[in-house]
């Protein structure tokens, strides 16, 4: 616990508090996870996110509530698709029913959930559209889907080929095709606080008739965008996650009848209660590492010695699965 405290204090000394993801391994294997969350909150961190496979959330009916009471804001849930075949190929056993139950447990506890599919060619790319449908049906409990094209670390055997890769443009084309044009590639844009090749995001509002109304649009023909300081862009991203990746805390008196609202008022009201984000990040591995992207990284791991290490550099492994730099 003292090492965890030092990690929090490292972030404060580096200009925090920042948004924190508690990751692993599998963090829920620690019985003191609620105490870790409470420690972070006591030190001033107001957004703590749990990166988890969701199995303990599914198996323990009261666990999500305990994490919520401790101060957890969001569950970043490993969710590889809506069939057991994707789970069996990527995780070694059928898990879909447990993933659904984990979502239900978080909904009961009013914990915001972001579904996180690892996309692998030939395995679950065909489930992009059905995963989005699954998430939209569970708005506002599910706050978004964050796609991660596979990168090659650790257990994956051998050297990946180009056919084993999935690019961000390919993901956007699949989203458009598998939602039959309901969601368009032009609804997405790259993040401003990291390299444009690293990530994409699109923000939507679910209207009462089932339409997903986009409020993010990328104009590839625009050449006069106002420059933005990276510090300001990073702060804006942190505020967005804190507001829109958490369960909407709306009192009943704030929600007016949809029938009495005009189009714009309805949109603003639903933006509070039914916002939804589709995003993705392409992590790098030893075979496609780009130093320019690494220098502009906005996601860091707190090293035990106090350094803040870019995520992709921290996790690099060779083709034999051994860590290259973590030690």
Q: At 318, list the tokens.
A: 């060779």
Helix (H, G, I), strand (E, B) or coil at 49: strand
Whether 27 has a pLDDT exceeding 70, the answer reads yes
The phi and psi torsions of 220 (rounded to 5 degrees) equal -65, -15
**What digits encode the pLDDT tens for the residues 216-246?**
765 555 545 566 665 656 665 556 555 555 6
Q: How far apart are CA 67 and CA 36, in angstroms?
A: 10
Sign of CA dihedral 237, 242, 248, 254: negative
10-14, 247-251, 284-288: which has the minimum mean pLDDT?
247-251
- DSSP letters along 282-322, please? ----TTT--HHHHHT---EEE-TTS-EEEHHHHT-B-TTS-
| Least confident piece of the model among 17-21, 48-52, 103-107, 255-259 | 255-259
* Pairs from 291-296 (Cβ < 8 Å, separation ≥ 24): 292/195, 293/194, 293/195, 293/197, 293/198, 296/194, 296/195, 296/198, 296/230
Q: Which domains does the chain have, with CATH numbers?
A: 2-250+276-314 (3.80.30.10)
Q: Rg for the chain (alpha carbons), in Å? A: 20
**pLDDT score for 255:** 46
Please give the distance of CA 209 from its chain centroid, rounded to a whole number. 27
Residue 114: is its pLDDT beyond 70? yes
The confidence score (pLDDT) of residue 257 equals: 47
Does residue 140 have a cis bond before it (omega within 30 degrees)? yes
**Does 249 have pLDDT greater than 70?**
no
For 258-267, how does the pLDDT look when each residue is reduced to its tens digit (9 = 90+)? 445 567 677 7
Given a cut of 50, is residue 251 above it in pLDDT? no
- pLDDT at position 324, please? 87
73 forms beta bridges with none
To the nearest whole number, what is the mean pLDDT of the chain? 88
- Tokens 């007016």 locate to 256
Residue-wise pLDDT for 189-203, tens only, equals: 998 778 989 999 999
- What one-character-per-residue DSSP string does 128-141 give? HHHHHHHHHTTTTT
Q: Which residue has the higher pLDDT, 208 or 125?
A: 125
Supply the pLDDT for residue 92: 94
Residue 317 in contact with residue 233, Cβ under 8 Å? no
Residue 138's contacts (CB-CB under 8 Å, 6 or more residues apart) are: 103, 107, 113
Q: What is the mean pLDDT of residues 105-114?
A: 96
What percent of the chain is predicted at pLDDT more than 70?
A: 86
131-176 tens-digit pLDDT: 999 999 999 999 999 999 999 988 777 789 999 999 999 999 999 9
pLDDT of amino acid 285:
94
> CA quadruple 180, 186, 187, 190: dihedral positive or negative?
positive
pTM of the model: 0.89
Runs of H (alpha helix) within the chain: 2-13, 33-42, 55-59, 63-70, 84-91, 96-108, 128-136, 168-178, 230-244, 263-273, 291-295, 311-314
Percent of the chain with pLDDT over 90: 69
pLDDT of 239 reads 62
pLDDT band at 272 (very low <50, low <70, confident <90, very high): confident
- The pLDDT tens digits of the residues spanning 50-75 come to 999 999 999 999 999 999 999 999 99
pLDDT at residue number 247: 63
Using pLDDT thresholds of 50, 70 and 90, give the confidence band for residue 98: very high
Q: Per-residue pLDDT for 24 more than 80?
A: yes
């Amino acid at each position: 616990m003292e090492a965890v405290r030092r990690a929090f204090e490292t972030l404060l000394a580096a200009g925090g508090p920042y948004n924190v993801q508690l990751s692993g391994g599998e963090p829920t294997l620690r019985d003191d996870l609620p105490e870790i969350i409470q420690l972070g909150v006591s030190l001033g961190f107001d957004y703590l996110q749990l990166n988890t496979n969701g199995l303990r959330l599914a198996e323990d009916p009261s666990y999500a509530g305990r994490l919520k009471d401790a101060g957890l804001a969001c569950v970043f849930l490993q969710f590889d698709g809506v069939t057991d075949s994707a789970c069996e190929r990527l995780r070694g056993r059928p898990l879909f029913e447990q993933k659904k139950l984990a979502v239900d447990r978080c909904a009961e506890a009013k914990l915001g959930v972001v579904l996180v599919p690892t996309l692998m060619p030939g395995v679950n790319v065909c489930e992009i559209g059905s995963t989005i449908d699954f998430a939209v049906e569970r708005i506002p409990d599910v706050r978004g889907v964050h796609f991660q094209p596979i990168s090659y670390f650790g257990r994956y055997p051998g050297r990946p080929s180009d056919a084993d890769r999935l690019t961000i443009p390919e993901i956007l084309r699949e989203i458009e095709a598998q939602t039959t044009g309901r969601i368009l590639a032009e609804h997405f844009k790259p993040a401003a606080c990291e390299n444009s090749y690293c990530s994409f995001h699109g923000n939507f509002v679910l209207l009462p008739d089932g339409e997903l109304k986009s409020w993010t649009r990328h104009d590839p023909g625009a050449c006069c965008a106002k420059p933005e300081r990276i510090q300001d862009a990073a702060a804006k991203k942190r505020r967005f996650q804190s507001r829109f990746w958490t369960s909407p805390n709306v009192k009943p008196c704030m929600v007016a009848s949809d029938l009495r609202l005009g189009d714009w008022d309805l949109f603003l009201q639903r933006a509070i209660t039914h916002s939804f984000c589709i995003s993705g990040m392409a992590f790098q591995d030893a075979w496609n590492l780009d130093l320019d992207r690494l220098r502009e990284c906005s996601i860091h791991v707190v090293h035990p010695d106090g350094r803040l290490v870019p995520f992709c550099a921290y996790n690099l492994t060779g083709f034999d699965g051994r860590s290259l730099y973590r030690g």
